[in-house]
Protein backbone atom coordinates (compact mmCIF):
# COMPACT_ATOMS: atom_id res chain seq x y z
CA UNK A 1 0.00 0.00 0.00
CA UNK A 2 2.34 2.69 -1.13
CA UNK A 3 1.13 4.00 -4.44
CA UNK A 4 2.17 7.54 -5.23
CA UNK A 5 0.80 9.36 -8.26
CA UNK A 6 2.03 12.80 -9.25
CA UNK A 7 -0.39 14.22 -11.80
CA UNK A 8 0.75 17.29 -13.81
CA UNK A 9 2.07 19.02 -10.69
CA UNK A 10 3.16 22.60 -11.14
CA UNK A 11 4.64 24.81 -8.45
CA UNK A 12 5.34 28.49 -8.84
CA UNK A 13 6.94 30.60 -6.13
CA UNK A 14 5.31 33.96 -5.48
CA UNK A 15 7.91 35.97 -7.36
CA UNK A 16 9.33 33.28 -9.55
CA UNK A 17 8.99 30.99 -12.49
CA UNK A 18 7.68 27.43 -12.36
CA UNK A 19 10.08 25.59 -10.06
CA UNK A 20 8.09 22.45 -10.89
CA UNK A 21 6.67 22.76 -14.37
CA UNK A 22 3.98 20.14 -14.82
CA UNK A 23 5.37 16.85 -13.70
CA UNK A 24 3.98 13.30 -13.83
CA UNK A 25 5.27 10.35 -11.86
CA UNK A 26 3.97 6.99 -10.66
CA UNK A 27 5.63 4.82 -8.05
CA UNK A 28 4.90 1.84 -5.84
CA UNK A 29 7.26 0.36 -3.27
CA UNK A 30 10.97 0.70 -3.96
CA UNK A 31 13.58 3.43 -4.18
CA UNK A 32 13.13 6.40 -6.47
CA UNK A 33 16.36 8.29 -7.01
CA UNK A 34 15.77 11.92 -7.96
CA UNK A 35 18.75 13.36 -9.80
CA UNK A 36 19.39 16.77 -11.30
CA UNK A 37 21.48 19.93 -10.97
CA UNK A 38 20.98 22.65 -8.36
CA UNK A 39 17.81 24.58 -9.02
CA UNK A 40 16.16 21.73 -10.94
CA UNK A 41 13.20 21.72 -8.56
CA UNK A 42 13.95 18.59 -6.53
CA UNK A 43 13.50 20.20 -3.10
CA UNK A 44 10.35 21.98 -4.20
CA UNK A 45 8.85 18.75 -5.49
CA UNK A 46 9.76 16.98 -2.25
CA UNK A 47 8.14 19.72 -0.15
CA UNK A 48 4.96 19.34 -2.20
CA UNK A 49 5.04 15.57 -1.72
CA UNK A 50 5.61 16.05 2.02
CA UNK A 51 2.48 18.28 2.15
CA UNK A 52 4.50 21.27 3.38
CA UNK A 53 3.13 23.30 0.52
CA UNK A 54 0.33 22.87 -2.00
CA UNK A 55 0.99 22.62 -5.70
CA UNK A 56 -0.07 25.63 -7.76
CA UNK A 57 -1.92 23.14 -9.95
CA UNK A 58 -2.07 19.41 -10.43
CA UNK A 59 -2.64 16.66 -7.90
CA UNK A 60 -0.71 14.23 -5.76
CA UNK A 61 -2.46 10.99 -4.84
CA UNK A 62 -1.33 8.67 -2.07
CA UNK A 63 -3.07 5.31 -2.38
CA UNK A 64 -5.69 7.05 -4.46
CA UNK A 65 -6.34 9.86 -1.95
CA UNK A 66 -5.70 13.48 -2.97
CA UNK A 67 -3.21 14.76 -0.38
CA UNK A 68 -4.37 18.37 -0.78
CA UNK A 69 -7.83 17.32 0.41
CA UNK A 70 -6.77 14.82 3.05
CA UNK A 71 -3.17 15.59 4.05
CA UNK A 72 -3.38 13.44 7.18
CA UNK A 73 -3.88 10.33 5.06
CA UNK A 74 -0.29 10.84 3.99
CA UNK A 75 1.23 12.67 6.99
CA UNK A 76 0.60 9.81 9.38
CA UNK A 77 2.53 7.54 7.00
CA UNK A 78 5.28 9.99 6.08
CA UNK A 79 8.90 10.36 7.14
CA UNK A 80 10.70 13.42 5.80
CA UNK A 81 14.28 14.59 6.04
CA UNK A 82 14.50 18.20 4.84
CA UNK A 83 17.69 19.52 3.32
CA UNK A 84 18.15 21.97 6.16
CA UNK A 85 17.52 19.56 9.03
CA UNK A 86 18.96 20.93 12.25
CA UNK A 87 19.50 19.40 15.66
CA UNK A 88 19.29 20.98 19.09
CA UNK A 89 22.88 20.84 20.29
CA UNK A 90 22.22 20.81 24.04
CA UNK A 91 20.17 17.61 23.94
CA UNK A 92 21.41 14.07 23.68
CA UNK A 93 20.44 12.13 20.56
CA UNK A 94 17.92 10.14 22.59
CA UNK A 95 16.39 13.22 24.25
CA UNK A 96 16.04 14.97 20.91
CA UNK A 97 14.34 12.00 19.25
CA UNK A 98 12.03 11.44 22.24
CA UNK A 99 11.04 15.08 21.88
CA UNK A 100 10.40 14.70 18.12
CA UNK A 101 8.42 11.51 18.74
CA UNK A 102 6.13 13.46 21.08
CA UNK A 103 5.74 16.22 18.49
CA UNK A 104 4.77 13.57 15.94
CA UNK A 105 2.15 12.26 18.35
CA UNK A 106 3.73 8.89 19.05
CA UNK A 107 2.43 7.38 22.31
CA UNK A 108 4.90 8.05 25.12
CA UNK A 109 4.54 4.47 26.40
CA UNK A 110 6.30 3.10 23.31
CA UNK A 111 8.25 6.06 21.97
CA UNK A 112 11.40 5.49 24.00
CA UNK A 113 11.79 1.95 22.69
CA UNK A 114 11.08 3.16 19.17
CA UNK A 115 13.69 5.90 19.52
CA UNK A 116 16.29 3.34 20.55
CA UNK A 117 15.34 1.12 17.59
CA UNK A 118 15.75 4.02 15.21
CA UNK A 119 19.09 5.03 16.71
CA UNK A 120 20.27 1.44 16.24
CA UNK A 121 19.08 1.43 12.62
CA UNK A 122 21.43 4.32 11.83
CA UNK A 123 24.32 2.95 13.87
CA UNK A 124 24.04 5.44 16.74
CA UNK A 125 23.04 3.13 19.58
CA UNK A 126 26.35 3.70 21.34
CA UNK A 127 26.05 7.48 20.99
CA UNK A 128 22.45 7.79 22.26
CA UNK A 129 23.40 9.71 25.42
CA UNK A 130 25.97 12.03 23.89
CA UNK A 131 25.17 15.69 23.28
CA UNK A 132 24.28 16.45 19.68
CA UNK A 133 26.59 19.46 19.85
CA UNK A 134 29.49 17.00 20.01
CA UNK A 135 28.32 14.97 16.98
CA UNK A 136 30.12 15.02 13.63
CA UNK A 137 28.23 16.20 10.55
CA UNK A 138 27.67 12.61 9.45
CA UNK A 139 26.31 11.64 12.87
CA UNK A 140 23.91 14.59 12.82
CA UNK A 141 22.70 13.60 9.39
CA UNK A 142 22.10 10.08 10.71
CA UNK A 143 19.98 11.60 13.51
CA UNK A 144 17.99 13.24 10.71
CA UNK A 145 17.55 9.87 9.02
CA UNK A 146 16.52 8.32 12.36
CA UNK A 147 13.84 10.96 13.02
CA UNK A 148 12.31 10.23 9.62
CA UNK A 149 11.87 6.58 10.67
CA UNK A 150 10.19 7.21 14.05
CA UNK A 151 6.61 6.60 12.96
CA UNK A 152 7.50 3.59 10.77
CA UNK A 153 6.44 5.50 7.65
CA UNK A 154 5.29 3.99 4.38
CA UNK A 155 6.61 6.95 2.40
CA UNK A 156 10.11 8.20 3.10
CA UNK A 157 11.30 11.43 1.53
CA UNK A 158 14.98 12.21 1.93
CA UNK A 159 16.32 15.49 0.55
CA UNK A 160 20.07 15.07 -0.05
CA UNK A 161 20.40 12.47 2.73
CA UNK A 162 24.01 11.57 2.06
CA UNK A 163 25.44 15.08 2.38
CA UNK A 164 28.04 14.97 5.14
CA UNK A 165 28.21 11.18 5.26
CA UNK A 166 31.56 9.48 4.81
CA UNK A 167 31.87 6.54 2.38
CA UNK A 168 31.18 3.96 5.10
CA UNK A 169 28.09 5.86 6.27
CA UNK A 170 26.91 6.18 2.65
CA UNK A 171 27.17 2.44 2.20
CA UNK A 172 25.24 1.83 5.42
CA UNK A 173 22.58 4.27 4.30
CA UNK A 174 22.15 2.44 1.00
CA UNK A 175 21.79 -0.87 2.85
CA UNK A 176 19.26 0.65 5.24
CA UNK A 177 17.00 2.08 2.54
CA UNK A 178 17.25 -1.10 0.49
CA UNK A 179 15.85 -3.01 3.48
CA UNK A 180 13.15 -0.40 4.09
CA UNK A 181 12.08 -0.28 0.45
CA UNK A 182 10.89 -3.88 0.42
CA UNK A 183 7.45 -2.66 1.45
CA UNK A 184 7.83 1.12 1.47
CA UNK A 185 8.43 3.87 -1.01
CA UNK A 186 11.70 5.75 -0.51
CA UNK A 187 12.30 8.90 -2.54
CA UNK A 188 15.69 10.51 -2.28
CA UNK A 189 17.39 13.35 -4.06
CA UNK A 190 21.11 13.39 -4.60
CA UNK A 191 23.87 14.78 -6.76
CA UNK A 192 25.82 11.60 -6.49
CA UNK A 193 24.96 8.91 -9.01
CA UNK A 194 26.66 6.21 -6.95
CA UNK A 195 24.12 6.84 -4.15
CA UNK A 196 21.40 5.42 -6.36
CA UNK A 197 22.96 3.41 -9.18
CA UNK A 198 23.07 0.15 -7.26
CA UNK A 199 19.99 0.54 -5.09
CA UNK A 200 17.32 2.54 -6.93
CA UNK A 201 14.42 0.73 -8.53
CA UNK A 202 13.63 3.84 -10.54
CA UNK A 203 15.39 7.06 -11.46
CA UNK A 204 13.97 10.43 -12.32
CA UNK A 205 16.19 13.14 -13.72
CA UNK A 206 14.91 16.69 -13.23
CA UNK A 207 16.00 19.82 -15.00
CA UNK A 208 14.27 23.20 -14.94
CA UNK A 209 11.21 21.80 -13.23
CA UNK A 210 10.68 19.00 -15.73
CA UNK A 211 11.56 15.35 -15.96
CA UNK A 212 14.18 14.60 -18.57
CA UNK A 213 13.91 10.90 -17.82
CA UNK A 214 12.07 8.59 -15.51
CA UNK A 215 11.98 4.86 -15.39
CA UNK A 216 14.17 1.85 -14.71
CA UNK A 217 17.76 2.86 -13.90
CA UNK A 218 19.55 0.63 -16.40
CA UNK A 219 19.04 2.53 -19.67
CA UNK A 220 20.09 5.79 -18.07
CA UNK A 221 23.12 4.41 -16.31
CA UNK A 222 24.24 2.64 -19.46
CA UNK A 223 24.56 6.06 -21.09
CA UNK A 224 26.47 7.62 -18.20
P1 LIG B 1 16.81 21.79 -6.29
O2 LIG B 1 16.33 21.16 -5.03
O3 LIG B 1 16.76 20.85 -7.47
O4 LIG B 1 18.15 22.44 -6.16
P5 LIG B 1 14.82 23.83 -5.74
O6 LIG B 1 13.51 23.15 -5.65
O7 LIG B 1 15.52 24.20 -4.49
O8 LIG B 1 15.77 22.95 -6.68
O9 LIG B 1 14.66 25.14 -6.61
C10 LIG B 1 13.95 25.16 -7.86
C11 LIG B 1 13.82 26.59 -8.35
O12 LIG B 1 12.97 27.33 -7.46
C13 LIG B 1 15.13 27.35 -8.41
O14 LIG B 1 15.09 28.18 -9.55
C15 LIG B 1 15.12 28.17 -7.15
O16 LIG B 1 15.85 29.35 -7.30
C17 LIG B 1 13.64 28.47 -6.96
N18 LIG B 1 13.28 28.64 -5.54
C19 LIG B 1 13.52 27.77 -4.54
N20 LIG B 1 13.03 28.24 -3.39
C21 LIG B 1 12.45 29.43 -3.66
C22 LIG B 1 11.75 30.41 -2.90
N23 LIG B 1 11.56 30.24 -1.60
N24 LIG B 1 11.31 31.51 -3.54
C25 LIG B 1 11.48 31.68 -4.86
N26 LIG B 1 12.12 30.80 -5.65
C27 LIG B 1 12.61 29.68 -5.06
P1 LIG C 1 29.04 0.54 16.42
O2 LIG C 1 27.56 0.60 16.76
O3 LIG C 1 29.87 -0.08 17.47
O4 LIG C 1 29.57 1.85 15.92
P5 LIG C 1 28.32 -0.59 13.86
O6 LIG C 1 28.73 -1.84 13.15
O7 LIG C 1 26.89 -0.39 14.17
O8 LIG C 1 29.18 -0.50 15.19
O9 LIG C 1 28.80 0.65 13.01
C10 LIG C 1 30.12 0.79 12.56
C11 LIG C 1 30.21 2.18 11.98
O12 LIG C 1 29.41 2.24 10.80
C13 LIG C 1 29.64 3.20 12.93
O14 LIG C 1 30.66 3.85 13.67
C15 LIG C 1 28.95 4.15 12.04
O16 LIG C 1 29.83 5.20 11.69
C17 LIG C 1 28.62 3.39 10.81
N18 LIG C 1 27.21 3.00 10.72
C19 LIG C 1 26.61 1.94 11.24
N20 LIG C 1 25.34 1.84 10.87
C21 LIG C 1 25.11 2.87 10.06
C22 LIG C 1 23.98 3.35 9.32
N23 LIG C 1 22.81 2.71 9.31
N24 LIG C 1 24.10 4.48 8.59
C25 LIG C 1 25.26 5.10 8.56
N26 LIG C 1 26.37 4.71 9.22
C27 LIG C 1 26.30 3.62 9.96
Per-residue pLDDT, averaged over 183-188, amounts to 98
Per-residue pLDDT, averaged over 5-34, amounts to 96
The angle subtended at Cα 52 by Cα 46 and Cα 55, nearest 5°, is: 70
Q: Enumerate residues lining ligand 1, CB below 6 A.
A: 13, 16, 19, 36, 38-44
Confidence grade of residue 144 (pLDDT, cut at 50, 70, 90): very high
Give the position, in ligand 1's atom list, of the atom nearest the Cα of 206: 3
Ligand at shortest distance from the CA of 138: 2
CA distance 25 to 34: 11
Kindly report the average pLDDT of the chain as a whole number: 95
Q: Enumerate residues lining ligand 2, CB below 6 A.
A: 121-123, 125-126, 142, 168-169, 172-173, 176
CA distance 163 to 190: 8
Per-residue pLDDT, averaged over 56-65, amounts to 98
Confidence grade of residue 79 (pLDDT, cut at 50, 70, 90): very high
Question: Which of 93, 145, 172 should be mutated for ligand 2, with most atoms under 8 A from CB?
Answer: 172
| E-strand stretches of 63-178 | 65-66, 78-81, 155-159
Q: So what's the pLDDT on residue 224?
A: 61
CA distance 79 to 77: 7
Per-residue pLDDT, averaged over 41-60, amounts to 97
Asked if pLDDT for residue 217 goes beyond 90, the answer is no
Q: pLDDT tens digits for 80-112?
A: 999 999 999 999 999 999 999 999 999 999 999
Confidence grade of residue 16 (pLDDT, cut at 50, 70, 90): confident
CA distance 130 to 42: 33
Of 206, 207, 204, give the one whose Cα is nearest residue 216.
204
Per-residue pLDDT, averaged over 171-187, amounts to 96
Asked if pLDDT for residue 198 goes beyond 70, the answer is yes
Per DSSP bridges, beta strands 185-190 and 65-66 are: unpaired
Q: So what's the pLDDT on residue 204?
A: 95
Amino acid sequence: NCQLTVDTVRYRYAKGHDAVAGLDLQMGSGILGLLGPNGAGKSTLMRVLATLTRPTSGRVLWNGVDIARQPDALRTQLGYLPQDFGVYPALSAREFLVYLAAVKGLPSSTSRARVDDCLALVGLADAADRRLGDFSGGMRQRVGIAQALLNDPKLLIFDEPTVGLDPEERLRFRQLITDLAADRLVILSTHIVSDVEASATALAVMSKGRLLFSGAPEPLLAQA
